Amino acid sequence: MQGICLLGATGSIGQSTLDIIAQHPDKFVLINASANESVDKMAAICRRFKPQRVVMGSKKARDELAQQCADLTTSFEWGERALESIASDSAVDQVMAAIMGFAGLKPTLAGIRAGKRTLLANKESLVTAGKLFMDEVVRHNVTLLPIDSEHNAIYQSLPQTASGAHKQDVSKVILTASGGPFRTWSMEDMLAVTPEQACKHPNWSMGQKISIDSASLMNKGLELIEACWLFDVTPDEVDVVVHPESIVHSMVSYRDGSVIAQMGNPDMKIPIAYGMSWPNRVETNVAPLSLVDIACLNFESPDLVRFPNLRLAADAWFMGGTAMAVLNATNEIAVAAFLNRQIGFLDIAKLNEQVLTSANITAVSTLDDVFEADTYARRFAQDLISRGGFS
């Protein structure tokens, strides 16, 4: 029986994780959980799974949840320190790190420092603090399992001794991308894109932020950086191919000419269940893949002119230091501004590029350097939006 701490319980990854827990009550139990402000959703989770501790993003949300669930024995808490505490709780065996964005870094690191198996669905932790993050994984001898479907697929396609084993045999890591809802749209067509259109992913059911990132290919850019840290490669050793069907989740090309791919229907319960049950596998209730029904799989190169965010991510990796934290922070501000209709869809990449190329990039020695860069980039980006000072 594995005790689960679910960071980000009310999001799409959180809900799929809960489905696996419910399907296998003999193998997994929800010990602790967190959410930001989704009180009603968390109340339903508490009543169904009865976790020991729950952390909300604000005192107001915590108080509302405690009132709704006054008959439960669950401890209701709030704030950053409480979030780190539930991740490092002695009753927890695994931490599912599914908090969206940069906010997931500290609690994920808290779980790692406590020696918990870490299921990483929060790519921003590695993007912003890659070397420091991986150093902590090694220092505390933690099993780190990627949950993003692409990185999970690469992990499965590598020798199972370790994610970075036998690197000398690997020729390329191949990340697949669906291309998002605007894969065939012209730049002119994308000028008038609305948040509602950008959030309608053709294959995956995801939250707003990741859906926008997928539409702009920034999600693939962040995944490119994440892959570099996870598998000890550079962007030159990673190929990104657009694969509209989202059936081949990613591949590894070997020096003997072999290519090993992981395939399956696009459902996040597959990589989540793999991470939770590794090195074994459990049922997921996901429909089996029928290659006959699919019949045809398509692949094409990404268009870096229409979708420059992928190029910017590679640039940030090669710049090093705080560049990746700056890019991530700017993109979070840009996506929020687009969702609030302050800027257009194409302005996301324009803002990202302007801040990245204008910012003061420094070396990263401690987490404080990462947090300072994040704060700096958010203020810079917000100022440009307020002044309309980017193009």
Measure the CA–CA gap between 243 and 241, rounded to whole angstroms: 6
166 and 108 housed in the same domain: no
- 3-state SS class at 34: strand
Do the annotations mark residue 38 as ligand-binding?
no
How do 248-254 and 170-177 pair as beta strands? antiparallel
Q: Is 88 part of any known ligand binding site?
A: no
Q: Is 178 annotated as a binding residue?
A: yes
To the question of whether residue 205 is assigned a binding role by annotation, the answer is no
Q: Is 121 exposed, middle or buried (0-12, 13-18, 19+ CB in 10 A)?
A: buried
- Residue 315: both structure tokens together: 């640039």
Check which CATH number belongs to the domain holding 357 and give it: 1.10.1740.10
Across all residues in the chain, what is the average pLDDT? Answer: 93
Known binder of ligand: residue 149?
Answer: yes
Whether residues 161 and 290 fall in one domain: yes
The encoded tokens of residue 49 equal 């799974």
Cα distance between residue 9 and residue 318, in whole Å: 34
State whether 171 and 250 are in the same domain. yes
Q: Which of 106, 121, 136 is the last residue of a domain?
A: 121
Residues 151-184 have pLDDT tens digits of 999 999 987 554 444 567 889 999 999 998 999 9
Question: Which structure tokens are listed for 77?
Answer: 């808490």
Residue 97 lies in domain: 2-121
- Residues 357 and 325 occupy one common structural domain: yes
223 is in an annotated binding site: yes
Q: 304-353, pLDDT tens digit by residue?
A: 999 999 999 999 999 999 999 999 999 999 999 999 999 999 999 999 99
Tell me how many domains the chain contains.
3
> 120 forms bridges with which residues in the sheet?
97, 146
Residue 122, marked binder:
yes
Q: Are residues 285 and 358 in the same domain?
A: no
Kindly state whether residues 324 and 228 are assigned to the same domain.
Answer: no
Domain end residue (candidates: 261, 294, 327): 294
Q: Are residues 339 and 268 in the same domain?
A: no
161 and 283 belong to one structural domain: yes
Give the predicted TM-score (pTM) of the model: 0.90
User: Any binding-site annotation on 148?
Assistant: yes
User: 117-128: per-residue pLDDT in tens?
Assistant: 999 998 888 999
Q: Is the peptide bond before 271 cis (omega within 30 degrees of 0)?
A: no
Query: Cα(249)–Cα(146) distance, rounded to whole angstroms?
Result: 13
Does 201 show up as a binding residue in the annotation?
Answer: yes
**Contact status, residue 224 vs residue 240, Cβ threshold 8 Å:** yes
Question: 24 labelled as ligand-binding?
Answer: no
Structure tokens at 164: 């970075």
Q: Residue 99, annotated ligand binder?
A: no
- If you average pLDDT over residues 54-65, what whole number do you get? 97
pLDDT tens readout for residues 75-104: 999 999 999 999 999 999 999 999 988 889
Residue 71, marked binder: no
Question: Are 163 and 282 members of one domain?
Answer: yes
Same domain, 28 and 102: yes
